[in-house]
Amino acid sequence: MSRYKNAARVLPPDLLAEVQRYAAGEQLYVPRPEGVRMGWGERNGAREALRRRNRAIKRLHREGATIDELMVRFHLGYDSVRKIVGGKNGSSGSGE
């Protein structure tokens, strides 16, 4: 699966002409600058999906859903749900 961009749409004309001198018709990989990396889940959308899920969990908890209900609904462990809803200190009790 190839995800590429047409160089004519991305590069200024003078740079495109220069690249064409060396690699016309070739598919090139242009590496990121040294030290510049995408964070986990940024490319495939996983990070944003987790943000949406966590917002839903917080909203449902505010609306009265218990941690046990959220565990079942979202297939998460107790500690994971507790951290998402903001009960990191363990003061919520075991059933909530």
Q: What is the DSSP letter of 3?
A: -
Digitized pLDDT (tens) for each residue of the chain, 96 residues in all: 457 788 999 999 999 999 999 998 888 888 888 877 777 777 788 889 999 999 999 999 999 999 999 999 999 999 999 999 996 544 444 443
Please give the pLDDT value at position 89.
46
Question: Residue 57: CB partners within 8 Å, gap ≥ 6?
Answer: 70, 74, 81, 84, 85
Contact indicator for 70, 60 with CB cutoff of 8 Å: yes
Please give the pLDDT value at position 45.
83
Q: Sort 87 into a burial class: Cβ within 10 Å, 0-12 / 13-18 / 19+.
A: middle
Please give the pLDDT value at position 91.
42
Distance CA 14, CA 20 (A): 10
